[in-house]
Amino acid sequence: MRHRLFTVLGLVVLAAASMGAAPATAAPGLDQAVVQLMTARSQADGSKLAAAGAGTEVNVQRSSPRGDWAFGSSVIKAPDVEGAYPEGWLFLAQRTATGWTAALDGTSEFAELAARAPAAVLSAGEKQTFAANAKAAAARSAAAQAAPTGLSLPYPVGNQWKIIGGPHGWSGQPRPWSSIDLDSRAADRSVLAAQSGRAYWVCSNGGHIRIIHDNGWTTEYYHLLNEIRPNGTPVRMGDYLGLTSTRIPCGGSAGSNHVHFALKSGSSWVPLADKTIGGWTYFEGSSAYGGGARRGGATRYVGDWIQNYGPETGGRTFENTADQDVADLGQAESPITVGGVPGNAPANLGVYADVHHGWRGDLQLDLVGPTGAVYRLRDPAPGDDGTIIHETYTVNASDSPANGTWRLRVRDVDANHSGYIDAWSLTF
C-alpha cells in the first residue's frame, strides 16, 4: 500500500493512500513517521545533521495494549567528529484508521496528543508536566527569556567546577549558543539535576538525559557515564544523573571528561547569553566556546572555576519561619501574605520548603494561591525514607495574582510518622 506523508509544524500524519485495515505491525509505519518528522524539524532549524548520514534511532519505550499509541525517544545520530552532537526528541504517536499521527516534545501538537494519551502510555503526572512546560514556554516574553531561570548548575550547590567550553551551540558553532561544557576536575564527577522535573533517556545506549521542567525550560545532559536510565522518572534538584565522561553514545566527540549542558525553551534551543543559572549570568565570546559568566562584580572566563550558588529568581522574597505541625495522616497549611508585587505571579515563582518528617516519602506538598489555584510541588514517594525536605521548586503561577495569602499545604498520606513545617518562602 502506498502512503502519503503530511508534515504540519510539529505534527506528522502517515496516511494510507486508500482506506483499509490498519497494518498488523505498528513499527515500520511508526518509524517512518517519526524519522520524517524529526528530519523535517532538524532541517527547519537549519541543521545539516540529517545529511551527514550517521543514522537514526526510534526507541519505543511504551505502547498501549492495543498497539495504537506509542511513546519513546528518537535521535538523529552525529558523526564522530569534533563539534557534532546528536539531535534527539521525545515522541508521542497515535495510530488511527488513516495511519500514524506523531509529534515531538515541546510542541503544542505534542501537548495536545499527551492530553489524550491513555494511562498505559503517559501517567497523569507526565501529562501535568508536559502541559505546564508548554504553557510556560508559550507565555514567556522576550523580557522573561533574559530573567533568572530558576535553575541550578548541574553539580552540588557550593561546589566549583571548571568551564572548559563557554556558550556554544548544541552542535558546536551553529547558533543559538545554548550550551556550556563543565568539568569537575575532581574525584567526584557526579552530574546532578539542575531543577525538579521529569527525566528521560534519549539515546538507546544511554549517556544522554533530558529533563523537562514545569517552568517551561528543558535541560539536556550529554557524555554521561554510569547514568540512571529514567523513563519519565520524577527528579528533584540535586538528584544524581550520572558521571562526566568522554562517552559519545549517539555520536559526536569529547576530548576530556565533561558534561555538555544545554538549555531549551519549549521545542527550541535558546542562547545562554543573559540567562542566570546557578547564580551566574552568561555572556558570549567573539566565537563559540568563548565568553564566560558574571555574578555581581566577579567575572569568570573559559578555564576558570565557577561556584554553584543554586537557583535564583532575582525578585522579592517573603517567608514564614513559624513551625507548623503535620500530624500522622494529617494535613497542615502554613500561610504567607504577599503585598506590593504588581500583577500576577511570575512563570518562575521560586518556592523553598523546609519540612521535617519521620518518613518524607509519605508527604505530598502543594502550593495554594490566593484564589485557590493549587500547584503540585512534591508527590509522595513511598520508598524515600529520608527525614528532611530542603528543596526549591519553580512554579508557573502566572495565572494567580501575586498579592494575597499563599499557603504551603503538606499532607501525610501514609501512617506511622509525623513531622512539621520548619519554614518556607516565596521569591517573586
Residue pair 325/418 in contact (Cβ under 8 Å)? The answer is yes
pLDDT number for residue 18: 30
Beta-sheet pairing, 404-412 with 363-368? antiparallel
- Cα–Cα distance, 202 to 210 (Å, whole number): 7
C-alpha cell at 387: 527525614
Residue pair 260/223 in contact (Cβ under 8 Å)? The answer is yes
Computed from CA positions of residues 230, 81, 270, 106, in that sequence, does the dihedral angle turn out positive or negative? negative
Output the tens digit of pLDDT for each of the chain's 428 residues.
Answer: 333 333 333 444 433 333 233 333 434 589 999 999 999 999 988 888 989 999 999 999 999 999 999 999 999 999 998 888 999 999 999 998 888 999 999 888 998 999 999 999 999 989 988 988 888 787 765 555 656 788 999 999 888 999 999 999 998 888 999 999 999 988 899 999 998 899 999 999 999 999 998 878 999 999 999 999 999 999 988 999 999 999 999 999 999 999 999 999 988 899 999 999 998 999 999 999 999 999 888 999 999 999 988 887 556 778 898 999 999 999 999 999 998 776 788 777 889 899 999 999 999 999 999 999 999 999 999 988 889 898 888 888 888 988 999 999 999 999 999 999 999 989 88
pLDDT number for residue 315: 64
First-to-final CA distance of the chain: 57
- Cα–Cα distance, 302 to 306 (Å, whole number): 10
3-state class of 330 per DSSP? coil
C-alpha cell at 288: 563559540
The model carries a pTM of 0.71
Q: Output b/e per residue, 201-232; b: 16+ Cβ within 10 A.
A: bbbbebbbbbbbbbbbbbbbbbbbbebbebeb
pLDDT number for residue 219: 97
- Cα–Cα distance, 34 to 89 (Å, whole number): 10
Residue pair 376/345 in contact (Cβ under 8 Å)? The answer is no
Count other Cβ atoms within 10 Å, centred on residue 296.
8
C-alpha cell at 307: 561556584
pLDDT number for residue 36: 93
- Cα–Cα distance, 124 to 379 (Å, whole number): 12
- Cα–Cα distance, 209 to 184 (Å, whole number): 19
* Residue among 200, 171, 198 at smallest CA distance from 73: 200
pLDDT number for residue 313: 56
In angstroms, how far is CA 331 from the centroid of its own chain? 30
pLDDT number for residue 306: 94
Within 13 A of 65's CA, how many CA atoms are on the CB side?
3
- Cα–Cα distance, 284 to 100 (Å, whole number): 42
